[in-house]
Structure 1
Amino acid sequence: MTTKTSRFGPAALVTAAFIGPGTVITASLAGANFGYALLWALVFSVFATMILQEMAARLGIVTGQGLGENLRTLVTQPLLRWPLLPLVIAAIVIGNSAYQGGNISGAALGADALFGHISVIRHWQAASGLNLWVLLLGAVAATVLWFGRYQWIERCLIVLVLLMSLAFIGTMVLTKPDVMALLNGMFLLKLPAGATLTVIALIGTTVVPYSLFLHAASAAQKWPKARLDTTTALSASRADIALAIPLGGLISIAIVSTAAAAFFGSGQQLDNVSQLAHSLTPLFGSASTWCLALGLLAAGLSSAITAPLAAAYALAGILGKPLDLTQPLFRVTWLLIILCGVLLASLGIRPIQVIWFAQVANGILLPLICLCLLLAMNHPVLGQYKNTFWQNVLGVAVLLVSLLLSGRSLALAFAVV
């Protein structure tokens, strides 16, 4: 490929993973309730994500293995190994099964806003009692993963990331944000009253543990040791991260900005993304509503593909199985997660207990995975590609922030506060 899309690589999968319906909802609420004041949290999230994802990609390229395989190999202390590996499986596999329902439901909302007015579709759904979009989107995700080789899946997700970029940034332009307020929000640290939980949510939806598994495994497949010079591969990987991750941050900033322009200071209460989409038409014209709906469709579908893929990479790696998309265990893992998501979205079930468990497991998992990643990046097996002093300093800083987020997340899950 000689087009600009060839500059994208595995980091685009990370962007596709963290820009999902959860991020759209969180960013929308942040903009509606606090205007542009919390944009600095997204700027921090982008830098933290780049630090961790660079380490994960470097680990995958140098060792030729995913993070799951490296955890299995490098974590040999029984007191750490046996609690950690089952926790990773539980948090990544079970947690992604719970969140998959939200991914598909979010994409279905976007599809319905775009095409739900078509009479044939409306009558079919009324007669059957089924949500056509949920079934169709689940089938699309399964088809991409079943028939796709890594390169094909990567290109599909790059297209979705570019589509999200055009849709959400286009919506922001149509809503004509206050540019000075936007810049102040990005670079001046402010914490309005009652904004603490929103800051945690903004960071937590961007810096997520399963993206580390996804990135390490996909980087190992994108730049295999036997074919490419390691230094060249690392250079390409860092350029990929520098392009794709900030683009994801820009998408999140665009969503915050859109909600701020539409709702902040209006006295209206924003409860969901559908309400935001419907409110844009009288304020900024139908084009803004269509852009937002298209972005939500792309965000939900991209996460509906990457969440099962990341879970399959994590489980296969930890169990010592090949990271091969055609292997039975790999296919069974992502297929079960997609089926769980379709079922939850179709029945309108809010899996409170499963999501509660996923929140607890991920709250524990994020700092643990950060710690294990830092230990792995200082292992002698990496040779000259081990972390430098400053890379360790930055990694420890992100680890400390993840501990704070973890403590708050667990406190909320157990209703301590």
Structure 2
Amino acid sequence: MTTAPMKSSSVTIKPTVPAPRTAVLDDAHTGDIRGALGTIKQHDIGERRGLSAKFKTLLAIVGPGLIVMVGDNDAGAFATYGQAGQNYGTSLLWTLLLLVPVLYVNQEMVLRLGAVTGVGHARLILERFGKFWGAFSVIDLFLLNALTLVTEFIGITLALDYLGLPKTGGVLVAAVVIVASAFTGSFQRFERVAVLLCAGSLLLVPLYFMVHPKPSQMAHDFVVPNMRGGSGELATVMLLIIGIVGTTVAPWQLFFQQSYVIDKRITPRFMKYEKADLWIGIVVVIVGAAAITGFTAATFAGTDGFGHFTDQAGVARGLEAHVSKAAGVLFAIALLDASIIGAFAVSLSTAYAIGDVFGMKHSLHRGVNGAKGFYAVYAGLVAVAATIVLIPGSPLGLLTQGVQTLAGVLLPSASVFLLLLCNDKAVLGPWVNGPKTNAFTAAVVGVLVTLSVILTASVLFPDITSNAILDIMAACGVTGILAAGYSFTRRRTGTKEDPIDRTGKENWRMPPLETLTRPTMSTARKIGMGALRTYLLIAMILVVIKIVQVALGQ
């Protein structure tokens, strides 16, 4: 018998190339994307072909942009937009249209930072600009968010009072709902609750049609700037416009969305879907803001209440008196919903930032035992805020004013660091800003600084005149033009940089922070940062002193 010769088989083993290390600080931030409306497996890297596949991917990604925008239409926003409508009709709607590109550019930059770096906003500031600014950003965020959270519970109490529900019991139930939704140890369950609350914000749409403001007048005021009230009221109108900017573009939004994108495990591969999510959120927030302004304007037009805004409860009572009881109830329910989702977002942004900076486990994917410090910060903030609003005699109106003022003063600082981080090639590599984004953002920062200075001056000098405000605007404008001219001259005369290579950016992630070289600060930048630091410290101290003086006077 002949035996057939055996064929030797050989298997070529390719050496495994280890994946490059990234800067992700919590290993819970890697894995499957488990969104409220869908799931994407970690190793699902196939191309999305066809409308159905793309739509399912979008549903799974939707969340960060939607929640951060709807959370921005919180209790403070209801008060600000209600005041605009009741006191000035729809004449200030144009400010919302101007804020659309500001909202998109700001939040697009932070979602890019989150998806590419895997590191929260506060930690990046600490690592790239030193301990002072890192500590300043966290302390500033913690204090401002704590006060903002109190205003959310003020909104809850006003809604409960109008609905005839017990204040103490209602506040405690709201606090339990806010805490319990995050304490499930499931990111997906938390996001489902948050998205459900976002859907609740759409109650403002049927309320708009119940009141039926004139669409033609609203369309006109959206596109034609108007400072109704005359030059004698310019100071009052300007401060309200600053309030609209401050409530629509808030510092906590930057910290929240960056960390939430990281916690949802979104990577650069899904950037276009996350941008679509952001646009959905912007549309919802602008529609809600316009609806509040529009139906409030129509409700109080020609009545004794026009020009005499008090608070959100006053708006609900006006709707009941001039439209129907159902309209007032619907507004109160929408206010309650907005206050709760605002409390969600503000508390979470603080817990994320503190966990990121201090190296604590900080993810909604972890149970309470796996991230005790993270959940303690979240629950502690909610408990303190709920307690403050239940203390008899608490200066709730003063707290609301103080929050708006401090947010307006500190907003330029957040925007400056955002711009600097998005131009840091070690951080974003091929994802750094282009020239057009830089030019637009620099202009926005200039406007925010101007508004901040005006707001600070108005707090220190309540009787500030319109001419003084115009002088401040002129001085800031001249300074901005000089700064822009200096920057343009330096670019023209300096060494030209090589064009940014953006090939393969979908797979680029920031290396670990300890491997990055600290950015060098030019003399001009040091002077600018020093001036910003000095202004912020002086403005904060003066504003706090003024608020304390008012409190003692009361």
Q: Please classify the TM superposition score into its range, dividing by the shorter chain length.
A: 0.7 to 0.9
TM-fit CA distance, 1:319: 2.8
Residues 308, 338 of structure 1: 8 Å contact kept? yes
Which stretch of the first structure deviates more once superposed, 296-305 or 401-410? 401-410
**Residue pairs, 1:236-251, within 5 angstroms:** 236-251=273-288
Q: Distance in 2 between matches of 1:254 and 1:360?
A: 25
Q: Does 1:28 align with 2:82?
A: yes
Which stretch of the first structure deviates more once superposed, 84-93 or 400-409? 84-93
> What residue is the counterpart of 1:10 in the other structure?
64
Secondary structure class of the residue paired with 1:212: helix
1:119-172 per-residue CA deviation (whole Å, 9 max, x = no partner) reads xx6xxx5xxxx621111111111111222533322222211111112x111111
Cα RMSD after superposing both structures: 2.2
**Residue pairs, 1:163-174, within 5 angstroms:** 163-165=200-202, 167-174=203-210
Query: Residues 200 and 363 from structure 1, CA distance in 2 versus in 1: closer, same or farther, beyond 3 angstroms?
Result: closer
Q: Does 1:411 align with 2:457?
A: yes
Q: 1:267 aligns with which of 286, 299, 304?
A: 304
TM-fit CA distance, 1:281: 2.6
> What residue is the counterpart of 2:243 in the other structure?
201
Q: Does 1:300 align with 2:339?
A: yes
**Residue pairs, 1:126-137, within 5 angstroms:** 131-137=168-174
Larger relative helix fraction: 1
Q: 2:150 aligns with which of 101, 116, 122?
A: 101
Query: Residues 107 and 74 from structure 1, CA distance in 2 versus in 1: closer, same or farther, beyond 3 angstroms?
Result: same
Which stretch of the first structure deviates more once superposed, 6-15 or 181-190? 6-15
Query: Residues 409 and 146 from structure 1, CA distance in 2 versus in 1: closer, same or farther, beyond 3 angstroms?
Result: farther
Residues 113, 293 of structure 1: 8 Å contact kept? yes
Q: Distance in 2 between matches of 1:402 and 1:111?
A: 35
Q: Distance in 2 between matches of 1:212 and 1:6?
A: 22
1:48-93 per-residue CA deviation (whole Å, 9 max, x = no partner) reads 11110000000000011111121122224xxxx41x2333223221
> What residue is the counterpart of 2:447 in the other structure?
401
1:250-288 per-residue CA deviation (whole Å, 9 max, x = no partner) reads 101100011100113323233122122122234322332
Q: Which amino acid in structure 1 is aligned with residue 349 of structure 2?
A: A
Q: Distance in 1 between matches of 2:108 and 2:211?
A: 34
Q: Distance in 1 between matches of 2:401 and 2:278?
A: 32
Q: 2:434 aligns with which of 388, 397, 413?
A: 388
> What residue is the counterpart of 1:336 in the other structure?
380
Q: Distance in 2 between matches of 1:278 and 1:144?
A: 31
The total of aligned residue pairs comes to 394
Q: Does 1:281 align with 2:317?
A: no
**Residue pairs, 1:222-237, within 5 angstroms:** 222-225=264-267, 230=268, 232-237=269-274
Residues 58, 234 of structure 1: 8 Å contact kept? yes
Q: Does 1:64 align with 2:118?
A: yes
TM-fit CA distance, 1:7: 6.0
> What residue is the counterpart of 1:42 in the other structure?
96
TM-fit CA distance, 1:187: 0.7
Q: Distance in 1 between matches of 2:59 and 2:74?
A: 21
Q: Does 1:143 align with 2:180?
A: yes
5+ residue gaps, structure 1, are none
Q: Distance in 2 between matches of 1:57 and 1:412?
A: 34
1:192-232 per-residue CA deviation (whole Å, 9 max, x = no partner) reads 2331111111111010111100000111122344xxxx2x3
Normalising by structure 1, report the TM-score.
0.88
Residues 378, 387 of structure 1: 8 Å contact kept? yes
1:337-384 per-residue CA deviation (whole Å, 9 max, x = no partner) reads 111211111114126786676556534431111111111111112111
Q: Distance in 1 between matches of 2:332 and 2:180?
A: 23
Residues 217, 323 of structure 1: 8 Å contact kept? no
Q: Distance in 1 between matches of 2:381 and 2:180?
A: 14
TM-fit CA distance, 1:321: 3.3
Residues 348, 378 of structure 2: 8 Å contact kept? yes
Which stretch of the first structure deviates more once superposed, 86-95 or 299-308? 86-95
Secondary structure class of the residue paired with 2:248: coil
Q: Mark the structure with the bigger radius of gyration.
A: 2
Secondary structure class of the residue paired with 2:228: coil
Q: Distance in 2 between matches of 1:315 and 1:365?
A: 18
Q: 1:366 aligns with which of 392, 411, 414?
A: 411
5+ residue gaps, structure 2, are 1-36, 39-55, 465-554
Secondary structure class of the residue paired with 1:265: coil
TM-fit CA distance, 1:234: 0.9
Query: Residues 267 and 364 from structure 1, CA distance in 2 versus in 1: closer, same or farther, beyond 3 angstroms?
Result: closer
Q: Distance in 2 between matches of 1:270 and 1:73?
A: 45
Q: Distance in 2 between matches of 1:328 and 1:37?
A: 49
Residues 87, 361 of structure 1: 8 Å contact kept? no
Secondary structure class of the residue paired with 2:286: helix
Q: Distance in 1 between matches of 2:153 and 2:399?
A: 17
Which stretch of the first structure deviates more once superposed, 276-285 or 347-356? 347-356
Secondary structure class of the residue paired with 1:53: helix
Q: Distance in 1 between matches of 2:446 and 2:83?
A: 26
TM-fit CA distance, 1:243: 0.7
Normalising by structure 2, report the TM-score.
0.67
Q: Distance in 2 between matches of 1:179 and 1:105?
A: 32
1:175-202 per-residue CA deviation (whole Å, 9 max, x = no partner) reads 0111111011111111123311111111
